[in-house]
């Protein structure tokens, strides 16, 4: 088998230049990462959406550094080609530059990911600059930022008014100038995402940001119909794996109860002579 070339940040810069779309998806485990890497995805985000889709939390704010690391490590072990982004959980980078560098350093060094992602715009530009200076590539995240969604009024589209759009644009410019190599644009009007994509030199990855972004990201569980609590407008469900899995498990339960499983096909047997001996030995 030919050696698989790992994607590096300059590859994404080149893709932006050439207008080639960048594909990203979340993954949180070894088998999920194996699957999406084999499918040919360019980037995996081990997102803090982990809290909602895998750990059963109501939101993302409860996720800890240790939980993130536990999920980043097997993803990193699984991939051959794609770039792995480790998401920084709420309050792991918000207190000071020193705290941010320490925790991003753990994500990068212990987790082994290729870059880290954090939420926030202009206010976080000095932190981003410090992390980049420490040698860790940073992926920003603006627009709808789930960790602070309650302050934004819930899971709502951002940047719709002129003032709000200017603020999102200024956030993007501040992160770009601080040295972020990429920015997630979540739930903003496509025209605003297009202006940002033209304006910044870093790559833009949309999730509800429209087709003009340099690339797209969606949550693994959302596109496969594995998360039933809610489906945002920007999610396209490509397969209903939940329904397939539910039917398979129900079929298994039914066949066991009806004494149809395990049939001969799934059963081991022994020779009659040996069986006679064993019966005598067991006195039955
Ligand atoms: O945690 C996550 O899955 C994310 C995406 C919504 C981009 O941050």
Beta bridge partners of 215: 22, 205
- Phi then psi for residue 139, to 5 deg, are -110, 120
For ligand 1, residues with CB inside 6 Å are: 26, 45, 47-49, 87, 141, 184, 186, 207, 217, 219
Torsion of Cα atoms, 51 then 53 then 56 then 59, to 10°: 50
Q: Which two tokens stand for residue 185?
A: 């644009």
Tell me which of 93, 186, 209, 232 to substitute to probe ligand 1's pocket, judged by most ligand atoms within 8 Å of the beta carbon. 186
Of 179, 170, 168, 165, which Cα lies nearest the Cα of 136? 179
* pLDDT level of residue 67 (50, 70, 90 thresholds): very high
What pLDDT is attached to residue 230? 86
Question: Mean pLDDT over residues 176-203, rounded?
Answer: 98
Tokens in use for 58? 């109501």
Look at residue 3 in the predicted model and tell me its pLDDT.
83
Structural domains of the chain in order of their starting residue, each with its CATH number: 9-239 (3.20.20.60), 244-281 (no CATH)
Considering only residues 70 and 154, tell me which one the structure prediction assigns the higher pLDDT.
70
Coil vs helix vs strand at 130: helix
- Quote the pLDDT of residue 96: 98
For the stretch 124-173, pLDDT in tens is: 999 999 999 999 999 999 999 999 988 888 889 999 999 999 999 999 99
- For residues 205-214, average pLDDT: 98
Catalytic residues: 186
Atom number of ligand 1 nearest to Cα 49: 1
What is residue 45's predicted lDDT score, i.e. its pLDDT? 98
pLDDT of residue 2: 67
Report pTM: 0.95
Torsion of CA 206, 209, 212, 215, to 10 degrees: 10
The ligand 1 atom at the shortest distance from the C-alpha of residue 50 is 1
């Amino acid at each position: 088998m030919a050696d698989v070339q790992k994607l590096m940040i300059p590859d994404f810069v080149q893709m932006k230049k050439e207008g080639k779309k960048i594909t990203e998806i979340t993954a949180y485990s070894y088998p999920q990462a194996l699957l999406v890497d084999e499918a040919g995805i360019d980037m995996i985000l081990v997102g803090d959406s982990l809290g909602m889709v895998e750990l059963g939390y109501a939101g993302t704010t409860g996720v800890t550094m240790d939980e993130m690391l536990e999920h980043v490590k097997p993803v990193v072990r699984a991939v051959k080609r794609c770039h792995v982004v480790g998401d920084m959980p709420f309050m792991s980078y918000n207190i000071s530059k020193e705290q941010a560098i320490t925790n991003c350093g753990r994500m990068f060094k212990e987790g082994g990911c290729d870059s880290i992602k954090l939420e926030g715009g202009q206010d976080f530009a000095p932190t981003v600059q410090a992390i980049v200076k420490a040698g860790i590539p940073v992926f920003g995240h603006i627009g709808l930022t789930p960790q602070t969604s309650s302050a934004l009024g819930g899971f709502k589209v951002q940047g719709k008014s002129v003032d709000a759009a200017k603020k999102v644009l200024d956030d993007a410019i501040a992160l770009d100038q601080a040295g972020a190599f990429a920015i997630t644009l979540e739930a903003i009007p496509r025209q605003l995402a297009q202006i940002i994509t033209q304006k910044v030199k870093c790559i833009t990855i949309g999730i509800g940001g429209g087709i003009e972004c340099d690339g797209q990201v969606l949550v693994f569980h959302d596109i496969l119909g594995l998360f039933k609590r809610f489906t945002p407008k920007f999610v396209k469900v490509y397969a209903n794996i939940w329904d397939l899995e539910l039917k398979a498990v129900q079929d298994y339960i039914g066949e066991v109860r009806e004494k149809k499983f395990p049939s001969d096909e799934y059963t081991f047997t022994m020779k009659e002579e040996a069986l006679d001996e064993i019966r005598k030995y067991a006195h039955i």
